Amino acid sequence: MNSPVRRSLEIDFLRGVVLIVIALDHIQGSVLSRFMLHNYAYCDAAEVFVFLGGYASAAAYTNVAMYRSEHAAKRRFVVRAWEIYRAYLFTAALMLLAGAALMLWRIDSPVVQETGWSDVLHHPVGTLLGVVTLRHQPFLSSVLPMYTLFALCVPLSVPLANRRPAMALGVSLVVWLASTWLARVLPSGDPGGWAFNPFAWQLMFMLGILCRLHPVSNEFQVSKAGRWLTYAALAVALTFAFVKLCLETQATPGYMKQNLAAVRVVSFVVIAWLMAQAVRMQVIRRIAERLPAVVTVGKQGLVCFVGGTVVSIVADTAVRMARGPAWLNGLAGDAVAIGALLLLAAAAKRWKALRARPAPIRGRAVPVEVGRRDS
């Protein structure tokens, strides 16, 4: 009997790195965050996270469909959507509790306002109902409603991308182009809409699906055309880095990330191509084999994302309140955040292993052969 396809070590490692980076990026004063992707490119960890989510979803769907059935695969992602929605509610509750704690302890932090706790104080029923219906998405929980919708669409998008990739990409591009208009149908109590427009970000998710189902062959990557693509990608990436570091004087408008601007797509694609070359040359695998704890973070993705929201708020608050050199406080906050995520991933792995262990059989006598002696 055939065994299921094994998980990709490189994908789990990259997901682990991205989850750690997301936590660091939400710590004010983080030292390591200054060296992260958003400082050198027009994309950040969010694009990588969504792309890898599409890649992993395509792998999971095809694996279940192959070794069980198409119906089982569809049911798996309906259940997955419910799991993500529950994780969103749990994360939202944690954010509200964090805002309440910060206000109770009189800690001056902008996180208090972003969590939405003040809205709960003034309009408790309406705000909580809005959280359930996705109208109000508290701080750091806003990416999960988008993922819930993506999980529900996987049973449609993966088979289409598998059979007709050009059509799947075309439909995704059309939806992306019309995303700002389509976003009006989303329930939102914020005039600006959802922090992540799912009609725009589905393009990144679809790119991940297509790369899993129709990967670029190693032969093409090392061909003359492939080498020229690598040179072009490197040139574009260096140009973007120069602009970000030397010419750009103001922060990129938030709506460009919210609606996945074209420059962000281009920036991600060139970096993804360069990363694919590192994967092809086994660079990522060799690093991943030396950092298994980071791989575990990637495998426990949903748990670490939810836990990472709390970790980042705690670390951010500690860094703001700490005395001493700012760089030292920031570095300490980074170390605490990374250590906490590694421990959380290890604990989640252990807990899942214990739950998966078969229960001992009770009440059954072990037959003993009379007259048999141990050798």
Domain boundaries, the chain: 9-247+255-351
Structure tokens at 188: 């939102």
Quickly state the pLDDT bin for 359 (edges 50, 70, 90). Answer: low
- The predicted structure's pLDDT at residue 23: 95
Examine the pLDDT at 368 and tell me if it is beyond 50: no
- Mean pLDDT along residues 264-278: 97
- Structure confidence by residue, pLDDT tens digits, 288-306: 999 999 999 999 999 999 9
Residue 88 clears pLDDT 90, i.e. is over it: yes
Q: Is the pLDDT of residue 1 over 50?
A: no
What per-residue confidence (pLDDT) applies to 232? 98
pLDDT band at 362 (very low <50, low <70, confident <90, very high): low
Q: What share of the chain is helix, strand, coil (3-state, %, to 5)?
A: 75, 0, 25
- Report pLDDT for 369: 45
Total-model pTM: 0.91
Residue 102 has pLDDT above 60, yes or no: yes
Residue range 246-274: mean pLDDT, rounded: 93
Choose between 323 and 332: higher pLDDT: 332
- Any idea which residue has 């019309």 for tokens? 178
Q: Summarize pLDDT for 343-356 with one digit per residue, the tens.
A: 999 999 999 998 87
Report the alpha-carbon distance of residue 326 to residue 322 in Å, rounded: 8
Q: How far apart, in whole angstroms, are the C-alpha atoms of residue 91 and residue 95? A: 6
Question: What is the C-alpha separation between 23 and 116, in angstroms, rounded?
Answer: 19
Report how far apart the first and last C-alpha atoms of the chain are (Å, whole number).
Answer: 36
The mean pLDDT value of the chain amounts to: 91
- Encoding tokens for residue 16? 């682990």
